[in-house]
Amino acid sequence: MELILILLLLGTLHLVAPDAQGDALFELRTSLKASPDQLTDWNQNQVNPCTWSKVSCDSNNNVFSVSMSFMGFTGTLSPRIQVLSRLTILSLQGNQITGGIPEEYGNLSSLTMLDLESNQLNGQIPSSLGNLKNLQFLILSQNNLEGPIPESLSSLPNLTSILLGSNNLSGEIPDHLFQLSKFNFTGNRLNCGFNNTHPCASTSGDSSKKSKAGIVIGVIGGVLSLLLVGCLVLFLWRGRHKGYKREVFVDVAGEVDRRIAFGQLKRFAWRELQLATDNFNERNVLGQGGFGKVYKGVLGDNTKVAVKRLTDYESPGGDAAFQREVEMISVAVHRNLLRLIGFCTTPTERLLVYPYMQNLSVAYRLREIKPGEAVLDWMTRKRIALGTARGLEYLHEHCNPKIIHRDVKAANVLLDEDFEAVVGDFGLAKLVDIRKTNVTTQVRGTMGHIAPEYLSTGKSSERTDIFGYGIMLLELVTGQRAIDFSRLEEEDDVLLLDHVKKLEREKRLDAIVDRNLSKNYNMGEVEMMIKVALLCTQGSPEDRPAMSEVVRMLEGEGLAERWEEWQNVEVTRRQDGRLEFKNQKALLTSYPFDLVPSYAINFAELIAIFLFFKERRHEG
């Protein structure tokens, strides 16, 4: 019975676990034989692949686009990506991919575009592609595909374009495919062309008419271009002589070109940020989170900036409400908080502009540094811990209304040129009035950093930030991620917090510390930081210290008393927990999971079951 329950649990977790997407994509990377210098940010141990290059996700962290064209891949297609149930675009054009198209691709039920053009694919086109009821564009030209075109493709209700030219296909072409707005079957041995009723490629009108129309359009276009250039030169000349500045980029309908008096805060024009980021080029992406992507940019005066393009921002009051929130953010000024330079609004866009942090984030320095880059030494990690605590203390206790961050983690702590900690992304958190309870409809944050009460109730407070800060301290000490499924291979805890708790109980502090420090640290200071982290991550939010108290403990005041008090409470809690565990053991082991569909088991139940088996393993 226990074995069946464990297998059921693992199977259910596989269906819902956020790492299933990452595992599938990493398998695709491996099967395509990506070189070591390609897709270097695809980390197999990262739970959420939404920050990876060439991958796009929706607001719920579902992968909807994978685009890797002209990258020189020589491997094969992995069938495992069938688990990407929300994938709408798969583009691998212009590589040297061999082998066949997996039948499993017919399970990508959300797919609207499949582009595998200009590869070396062979075998037949799978008939399972006829299951892709949302497919609009099927592009398989310039491969070595053979056999007939599956009849099932003619039943796709949304298909508008099918390009199969330059393959080794043969046989009949389903009549319905000739009715599509765009088709190309040239370069095959199919029933189309001179001796058949249907042409091999779609056409649109007489060529002579098109030529004449092209000439007319060309002449008109040339005249209009000359007029446009002349007007632009005249405009710039007048601007220069009237003392206008370079802020003339107002080319988005509805954008208001005005400057507002928020101290040094500047309202940028859309075109200005578009130019600074090279039209928001993917090569300039510094990172991506739940609120949108961050792009590196260079302004006209050569100032380097980071531009956050919000993709999940809804302001009920429109532009005015956004400005009020920006104004509140701008007054939160502290040496350990990321300063807001300016913003930009259009009817469809919200952008925030920050200084560029040349040393990137703590997460990058802990786990993603390139060869030759310096590892964070212990003294720097101590400064980061204290600086981050001071920044959060300011947000919680000196801002009115106070600001709750809601996603405190190493990736959101940036490092300036002197490696001083600068808390970022706090401006995107909910601004909480101290007289109200903040209940959200969508939990913000990153798994492994989210406080248990926030996950279960949706209520965030400064105590949820303190929990995230405690996890960040553990990241600093260990160099590891908050969740790491690779630890399962060693029969260890997936959650970093549980992993550290176990080693701390066993008094194996050396096994906790980041190996990159090469034993260059003070064990007393390590022990202090771990104790502060464990106090910050207590299950009950009321038991966690305030950030002002955390600052004092890191400075050497009051930790011993608080730790002793917590130890006494923890012993009692463990005894009560063992009794409750024994009372629930029979209930859990007799629960009829085999009668319940896996999708009906919610996340809280999964966590409860996971903790049950983890506790049983520890008891054994």
DSSP string, 51-89: GSTTEEE-TTS-EEEEE--SS---S---GGGGG-TT--E
Report the pLDDT value the prediction gives residue 610, as an integer from 0 to 100.
52
CA angle 102, 104, 105 (to 5 degrees): 80
Rg (CA), the chain: 29
Higher pLDDT, 347 or 336: 336
Q: Is the pLDDT of residue 145 over 90?
A: yes
Higher pLDDT, 52 or 115: 115
- Best mean pLDDT range from 439-453, 516-530, 567-581: 516-530
Residue among 407, 465, 493, 514 flagged as catalytic? 407
Quick one: which of 40, 19, 52 has its CA closest to 368? 40
Active site residue 493: no
Higher pLDDT, 246 or 442: 442
- pLDDT band for position 518 (50/70/90)? confident
Mean pLDDT of all residues in the chain? 76
The percent of residues above 70 in pLDDT, for the chain, comes to 70
Beta strands in 92-197 (DSSP E): 113-115, 122-123, 137-139, 144-147, 161-163, 168-171, 182-184, 189-190
Whole-number Å distance between alpha carbons of 430 and 409: 17
> DSSP per residue over 373-429, as a string?
SPPPPHHHHHHHHHHHHHHHHHHHHTSSS-B--S--SGGGEEE-TT--EEE-SGGGS
Question: What is the average per-residue pLDDT within 400-408?
Answer: 82
Q: Which of 116-130, 222-236, 463-477 has the lowest mean pLDDT?
A: 222-236
Phi, psi at 415, each rounded to 5° = -125, 125
Report the pLDDT value the prediction gives residue 502, as an integer from 0 to 100.
86
Is 308 assigned a ligand-binding role in the annotation? yes
* Contact criterion met (CB below 8 Å) for 479 and 514: yes
Report the pLDDT value the prediction gives residue 320, as an integer from 0 to 100.
66
CA distances from 200 to 157, 168, 186, 197 (A): 21, 14, 5, 10
* Contact criterion met (CB below 8 Å) for 298 and 306: no
CA distances from 174 to 38, 131, 161, 179, 193 (A): 40, 16, 14, 10, 14
Report the pLDDT value the prediction gives residue 491, as an integer from 0 to 100.
55
- pLDDT band for position 369 (50/70/90)? confident
Q: Which of 88-92, 362-366, 602-606 has the lowest mean pLDDT?
A: 602-606
Count of all residues that appear for the chain in the document: 620
Helices (H), ranges, 479-558: 496-505, 523-536, 547-554
Higher pLDDT, 328 or 260: 328
What lies within 8 Å, CB to CB, of 441 at 6+ separation is 458
Q: Which of 136-140, 207-211, 233-237, 470-474 has the lowest mean pLDDT?
A: 207-211
Half-sphere exposure of 303 (CA within 13 A, CB side): 12
Q: Is the pLDDT of residue 159 over 60?
A: yes
Q: Is the pLDDT of residue 550 over 90?
A: yes
Q: Is the pLDDT of residue 204 over 90?
A: no
Residue with tokens 């209930």: 587
Q: Which of 147-156, 289-298, 574-583 has the lowest mean pLDDT?
A: 574-583
Q: Is the pLDDT of residue 446 over 90?
A: no
Phi, psi at 406, each rounded to 5° = 75, 0
Whole-number Å distance between alpha carbons of 605 and 596: 12
* Contact criterion met (CB below 8 Å) for 477 and 533: yes
Q: Is the pLDDT of residue 578 over 70?
A: no
- Best mean pLDDT range from 13-27, 32-46, 465-479: 465-479
Q: CB atoms < 10 A from the CB of 57, how many?
A: 20
- pLDDT band for position 264 (50/70/90)? low
CA distances from 114 to 65, 167, 245, 267 (A): 11, 17, 47, 41
Whole-number Å distance between alpha carbons of 57 and 62: 5
Higher pLDDT, 350 or 434: 350
Q: Is the pLDDT of residue 128 over 60?
A: yes
